[in-house]
Chains A and B, each alone.
Chain A
């Protein structure tokens, strides 16, 4: 039996499968279907300094092999997260990543400050949400602001800091390098690609927000390419996500240079996807005589 444990910037995960932010809430709902302690980690719902009601519905539309969403960071705020959600996760054997979003750097800093001394194992900085007008993604689209926000948050975070990157840029590797320069301990990618769908009868966009973030199998090849480019550019660990729906996708991500993968949209299609991916990776490693999952990270043989 291969060793599935991974360590990302000093944070141990019992396996390389993490459920992605925004698709899994704070874990309670899926825990009614299976014990979430079987997962490597959970990246919690994007949390802001104050509670946010999110966008008006409809917030989701189906597209070929994918979905568009425009939830707009609905969340109870960081204090409610610490008070009402963290105790449940602390009871579970799962690595907890808090996903933090905001509209100003000071908000990010204050939100992260309020997570100090809590059971949060790692912080994922969401500077790439495409669905909120007043910011988020705007920090993630210039190398200079990526470096600045990373530096500012790093200064108050005792937990390792992972920057979640947006694919809606010309060169994502440059953004990863900027995060690294700012002191990031890891990067995760990709967030959703901005997209749109129109109802040709009503001539209205399906989403009330007009545009939304595309995820699901449709984005996987783009995500894989970006993970590979980023892994070749930076020294810090890379967590790969974007359209991972089966174990083979996860193995591709690992080979491309990801130290772990996140699974999001696929949870909606089949709640058991993360567990199937964990089993599939293990069987792949055994079948290929690999003793540790870490041994295949970045082992793609490019032409």
Chain B
């Protein structure tokens, strides 16, 4: 775990308000695993912004961060350019523990897609992806997923691209043809809840990557709480340290 300044090697606007930064950070790239995140200082803002690691290139010592402009902090970040240095704390969180020889279904909702990409890449031809967006204009990373997965389905709420509806509509059928698959999902809470319920019903293993308003990012301040029901009872876990990836069966989606 390190806190240091790293240079933006390349920058691309990949969606309406979504940016992709490749960061030159060999020490970070070597320590990172897919599903981890970094905590990025944004100008004078007192809180860092947690951003998931989308892709890791250990050989070239880079990581790719994909983020959406949501407020003043991410706006500031989006205004940084190639060559600028940004202060990053990371890698943080537990990340995914892939079993690449098994079939896996990666589900991303909106800005929940980027953290799925690196994991999907490790599964290669055993990976399928279902990506959900509000509409075609919010779609991101489709080609990247198509390049590594054997099959990619897209859903949009308004039907402007792919299947009209939600990721769960596609997942329902997919679980029929891939009953042994492991499901990994990241996206808005209602989507994760729907995915988790569907997987529980079909007895399919499901891991969800959660988002919560965060403080320190390393497990010291205890603000990013998530209620879980585990074998030994109820716990208040923390997204930054115990997560962001949780076994979906343990997460209390109402808490």
Asked if B225 CB lies within 8 Å of chain A CBs, one says yes
Interface of A is mostly: loop
Interface band, chain A: 35 or more
B45:A62 contact, CB within 8 angstroms = yes
A269:B1 contact, CB within 8 angstroms = no
B220:A270 contact, CB within 8 angstroms = no
With beta carbons under 8 angstroms apart, the residue of A55, A57, A268, A270 that contacts B221 is A268
Inside 8 A of A25's CB, which chain B residues have their CB? 219-222
B222:A57 contact, CB within 8 angstroms = no
Asked if B34 CB lies within 8 Å of chain A CBs, one says no
In the complex, residue of chain A having the shortest beta-carbon distance to the beta carbon of B216: A268
Of A26-34, A151-159, A178-186, A226-234, the segment with at least 4 beta carbons within 8 Å of chain B is: A26-34
A65:B46 contact, CB within 8 angstroms = yes
B87:A71 contact, CB within 8 angstroms = no
Asked if A217 CB lies within 8 Å of chain B CBs, one says yes
Rounded to whole angstroms, the CA-CA distance of A56 and B220 in the bound complex is 17
Within 8 A of B (CB), among A41-61: 45, 53-61
Inside 8 A of B212's CB, which chain A residues have their CB? 57-58
Within 8 A of B (CB), among A8-23: 22-23
Inside 8 A of B219's CB, which chain A residues have their CB? 25, 29
B236:A53 contact, CB within 8 angstroms = yes
With beta carbons under 8 angstroms apart, the residue of A58, A217, A269 that contacts B48 is A269
Given contacts A74-B225, A269-B48, A271-B3, whether A58 and B213 have CB atoms under 8 Å apart is yes
B236:A74 contact, CB within 8 angstroms = yes
Inside 8 A of A65's CB, which chain B residues have their CB? 44, 46
Asked if A216 CB lies within 8 Å of chain B CBs, one says yes
Inside 8 A of A61's CB, which chain B residues have their CB? 213
Inside 8 A of B235's CB, which chain A residues have their CB? 53
Asked if A69 CB lies within 8 Å of chain B CBs, one says yes
A267:B87 contact, CB within 8 angstroms = no
Asked if A24 CB lies within 8 Å of chain B CBs, one says yes
B89:A271 contact, CB within 8 angstroms = yes
Inside 8 A of A29's CB, which chain B residues have their CB? 216, 218-220, 241
Asked if A195 CB lies within 8 Å of chain B CBs, one says no
Rounded to whole angstroms, the CA-CA distance of A265 and B89 in the bound complex is 16
Given contacts A33-B3, A58-B213, whether A69 and B223 have CB atoms under 8 Å apart is yes
Given contacts A25-B219, A74-B222, A74-B225, whether A32 and B213 have CB atoms under 8 Å apart is no
Asked if A88 CB lies within 8 Å of chain B CBs, one says no
B225:A59 contact, CB within 8 angstroms = yes
Rounded to whole angstroms, the CA-CA distance of A270 and B39 in the bound complex is 10
Q: Map CB proximity to B onto A184-221 as digits: 1 under 8 Å, 0 otherwise.
A: 00000000000000000000001000000000110000
What is B's interface to A at a CB cutoff of 8 Å?
1-3, 41, 44-48, 73, 87, 89, 212-227, 234-236, 241, 255
Sample of 5 further A-B pairs with CB below 8 A, known A29-B216, A56-B225, A57-B226? A30-B218, A33-B1, A59-B222, A71-B223, A269-B47
